[in-house]
Structure 1
């Protein structure tokens, strides 16, 4: 896997500490919370940071429990495993499996219950790209081919001249960007520690200063700043906050069970690249919404074919095989994922009508063995659910 997806860079999947706005004094960086702080605060992030609410509607979409429940067992790293073994060993707060829209497995840990939310880290990126699709369906964004500068004019005359919405969603703007979180002079570190100027978004101001390194659309380069930029673009295009638009297009019509919350940046804008807090079943409903082709209450929320296009490889060069979609990760084993550090994920396998949600509080943001163990869990669940 590319260096940009290594540990140092992957820390930026959740953004730097300065990208959050604390409401609790003397809070350490979210990236270095103790195990107890993770267990307590991942499920009550609103007690730590400023947030906006993604309001649910009056109706809840049922997730019936299937007559046949699954109890996978598997062997990994020379040991036999059950789902509970995996959860205990890897600090997992929830595992949910939907097959044909029904619950076939639901387990909780770390003191979490069905009504408790859990922070998403970069799983939020996939929600943001879905809201971009909704804005296209609504005619607020003209098309994927629209120039980014049509919606964020402060970027005119910068490296973003000629960059399209689609190229942003592919993480292939061609703009020079250093995602090395371990480097205090990297873009990902500097872009979240700028002073707030009245009437200006500091992230937009920073991104406008960046030079072009490649022709747009030719090379994947993981760029946390641009995922937040897409969130700003969607808000500008729709004239609504991301939280309000997510409520209007997904949470209310699809029947989410509980309000979600979305962390805001120092400018008061929801972070397009990070940090929604959602219940386990509502994470599952996000996956089911994608399986349903972006339909909510019988109405199309997304453009025709969007869920297929967004979740199949759109760019290959520079991306982990088999490629990258619109803020969705493709899997060599089949299906696609929304991913976040410290063990957050939604796996969707359309051919199997399967959704798997895992929320965790891993001891490190990423890790080769952690990833391998989760892959073994995924494959055991897939086998059991067939």
Structure 2
């Protein structure tokens, strides 16, 4: 089964990488092309290292996307004092973690910036689930703009197609914190898991593929009583924001963050077969703009979200494991008051409010997720923040 899966993936990717040189902004019209893209989307988890290195900085050459337009006046990221970190240890960390880009920004100044694996400051790198934190910020913006009244409202008010499903009685806050009680399998090694199958099936005409899949889930716990990581629920947040605002997520992200805060590079956001952004995943952003987004959140997302939103979003609403590891509104919370965004294959933004430091890392791990790689990543990021805080 797995060998066949990988062979299909290799065949499916052979043409797009050679044939496309610019972002694709239209959804493919033929069912055959949509079927091929659904298959490739499911197979991303099982790409070879060669495919990861080729595709992670070029996802717009593989999938259709929407463009998030950058600012005409980019926010400066001036150089700061070089971070006092051992060069050999840094080189070893970059090599061992298959890192493509690493940046440390403190007080809005760049104290460390490194690139590898053919990546550079002019490029973009896929976010995977780091996008979840962007999506939750857009929900906060929709509340600030009056499109949504409160996180205490029921999800079915904005996605009525979920009525009669496991999402009856689930609040927006429970969707944000992944405590809906719906049963879900996020196993990245299993091609039959929910996360792998979500966009694999054809969807009846006129139906949203996320809603079509998610409304068939069963309930395993009372809403609010159990935390389970579910990419599909972030995709529902995206549907909710689109329904409430009447805008695409790419358009709204440009309006609320990219242009007013001064992002310097257009981002691209992968779209599903219906032409809507895959909001639990798959933004492609430059390394410096990942750092700017971290700085934007560190500053409280000025002008975009309600007062107190960032503080509430980045505190633990659910416990993930002992020792200070929790989950907020699509943000992970860590010991020592730190918080961040995480994506498979080694994508992270880590924020330390006390030292006013942001660390953004893009990578291409050999596996989607690995406890040893996460532990090594966390330890070295702590080391970078401690070095920044020491001066």
Q: Which residue among 48, 55, 61 is the counterpart of 1:34?
A: 48
SS in 2 for 1:356: strand
Aligned to 1:359: 362
Q: Which residue among 262, 266, 291 is the counterpart of 2:273?
A: 266
C-alpha distance 235-334 of structure 1, shift in aligned 2 (>3 A): same
- Find out whether 1:69 has 2:82 as its counterpart: yes
Provide TM-score, normalisation by structure 1. Answer: 0.87
Q: How far has the Cα of 1:216 moved from its partner?
A: 0.9
Of Structure 1 and Structure 2, the greater helix share is in 2
Aligned to 1:238: 245
**RMSD of aligned residue pairs (Cα, Å):** 2.2
Q: Which residue among 184, 193, 209 is the counterpart of 2:216?
A: 209
Aligned to 2:58: 44
Q: Which residue among 376, 380, 384 is the counterpart of 2:383?
A: 380
1:196-246 C-alpha deviation (Å, 9 max, x unpaired):
211111221222222322111111111111111111111111100111010
Q: Is the 8 A contact 1:21 1:49 kept in 2?
A: no
- Find out whether 1:95 has 2:102 as its counterpart: yes
Task: Write the mapping of 1:286-365 to structure 2, written as runs, cut at 5 A.
Answer: 286-295=293-302, 300-316=303-319, 321-365=324-368
Measure the CA separation in 2 of the matches of 1:209 and 1:92: 38
Q: Which residue among 208, 218, 223 is the counterpart of 2:225?
A: 218
Greater shift in the superposed pair: 262-271 or 81-90: 81-90
Aligned to 2:195: 188
C-alpha distance 269-214 of structure 1, shift in aligned 2 (>3 A): same
Measure the CA separation in 2 of the matches of 1:161 and 1:22: 43
Measure the CA separation in 1 of the matches of 2:128 and 2:102: 17
Measure the CA separation in 1 of the matches of 2:15 and 2:166: 35
1:331-350 C-alpha deviation (Å, 9 max, x unpaired):
12430010001110000011
- Find out whether 1:169 has 2:169 as its counterpart: no
1:93-148 C-alpha deviation (Å, 9 max, x unpaired):
11100111111111111111111100001000010001110001111111101111
List gaps (5 residues or longer) in structure 1: 1-16, 75-80
Task: Write the mapping of 1:121-160 to structure 2, written as runs, cut at 5 A.
Answer: 121-160=128-167
Q: How far has the Cα of 1:23 moved from its partner?
A: 7.7
| Structure 1 residue runs of 4 or more that deviate by more than 4 Å after TM superposition | 20-23, 25-28, 181-185, 317-321
SS in 2 for 1:225: helix
Q: Is the 8 A contact 2:45 2:189 kept in 1?
A: no
Measure the CA separation in 1 of the matches of 2:194 and 2:365: 26
SS in 2 for 1:194: coil
Provide TM-score, normalisation by structure 2. Answer: 0.86
Aligned to 2:16: 24
SS in 2 for 1:250: helix
- Find out whether 1:57 has 2:71 as its counterpart: yes
